[in-house]
Amino acid sequence: MDIHVQSSGGMLIDARFGDFTVSTDQPEADGGANSAPSPFDLFLASLATCAGYYVIAFCRERDLPTEGISLKMTNTWNDQTHLAENIAIEITLPAAFPEKYRRAVTRVAGMCTVKRHMENPPEFVITARNGQP
């Protein structure tokens, strides 16, 4: 998949891919207008929503209740590196959710493709050229 990125003025950066445009901005403290999520916030949201997708898909495949399922992701930061040191995801299941599937649901949330990419990162190749894309 190709993703095309361009500035929309100020610190606004848009990513275009397929039929979608995702806008990002920076907090005011970093020179932005805080009008959209920061790129890193979108990255974190992609982790949480990816895990959520895997949980919901698991439940639907087994005809398990999905009403009331939610996930909460909490991050612990390293003050020296300013990077996430721990990412915890808590899954809230409906009261009537079968106990025998609870462990499987946590396991399937860990199968998220975004998480797996973090565990086995791809090689990055970054180049620069003159001219319009």
pLDDT of residue 132: 72
Rounding to the nearest 10 degrees, give the CA dihedral for residues 112, 118, 121, 124.
Answer: 110
pLDDT of the residue at 133: 61
Q: What is the mean pLDDT of residues 95-116?
A: 95
| pTM exceeding the 0.75 threshold for the entire prediction | yes
94 exposure class (CB count in 10 Å sphere: 0-12, 13-18, 19+): middle
Q: Name the band, by pLDDT with cuts 50, 70 and 90, for residue 131.
A: confident
pLDDT in tens, 34-76: 999 999 999 999 999 999 999 999 999 999 999 999 999 999 9
Alpha-carbon distances of 37 from 26, 97, 101, rounded to whole Å: 7, 33, 34
Average pLDDT, the chain: 95
